[in-house]
Amino acid sequence: MPDTTTHTVKIQVFKRFERLWHWSQMALIFTLVFTGFKVHGTHDLISFETAVTLHTWAAIILLIIWVFAIFWLFTTGQWKHYIPTGENFIKVARFYAFGIFQGEHHPYKKTYRRKHNPLQALTYLLVKIVIFPAIWISGIAYLLISFGLGNLLDGFGMECIECIAFIHTAAAIAIVVFVIAHVYLLTTGHSFTEHVRPMITGYDDVELTDEELAFLKADEPELLKDS
């Protein structure tokens, strides 16, 4: 039987681009939510024209960042961290449903090959392949209509602006719910700063096997916190 001894080591889990992508995306999403609420008439903190302009530019910049992020995920192999796995899925789901309110310890520990727990991976994957594409497509459709190019959508069966508005709003609400849940979970378990620190410094505690630790020391020592 192979040796399965593991060591808890602080290594660089989140690369510099990943952290830049995360915080830029956060700022742009908050900008889009704020301006989107104004467009829907929820508040009067800024003018309608300003809201539309900020919303459009924030959406364009976010779309560009997403394109770079997709390219980065596939060229670096980081996409593998977002593939859901059934291993420990029930334990993690039970923890968030019940255990977290009873002071239980999180049943999942980050590993070199899996930095997201099964529930995180599934959630992030659904956000990336369902919610984000819905917001992209409906938002681009809106942009084409605002530029007077709505006739280009006829071939896609998207001539119904009410349908586009519904899809865009529903996807936006889903993103808001995701953000609220994301922030809430940052306040559970460990302290808030301990949850957020890895996305600032890039380093977090990870379970490494002897082979993985030896590999990092030999080939990528810069990823080790104490190297």
Task: Assess if residue 44 is contained within a domain.
Answer: no
Reported as type and span, the H/E element at residue 9 is strand 6-12
d(CA 227, CA 224): 5
d(CA 129, CA 60): 19
Domain that holds residue 192: 6-15+77-223
Task: Assess if residue 207 is contained within a domain.
Answer: yes
What are the respective helix, strand and coil percentages of the chain, to the nearest 5?
70, 5, 25
The pLDDT tens digits for 169-184 are 999 999 999 999 888 8
Task: Assess if residue 205 is contained within a domain.
Answer: yes
pTM, 2 dp: 0.81
Number of domains in the chain: 1
Task: Assess if residue 28 is contained within a domain.
Answer: no
DSSP 3-state of 143: helix
Task: Assess if residue 157 is contained within a domain.
Answer: yes
Task: Assess if residue 169 is contained within a domain.
Answer: yes
Task: Assess if residue 112 is contained within a domain.
Answer: yes
The pLDDT tens digits for 78-104 are 888 888 887 788 888 888 888 877 777
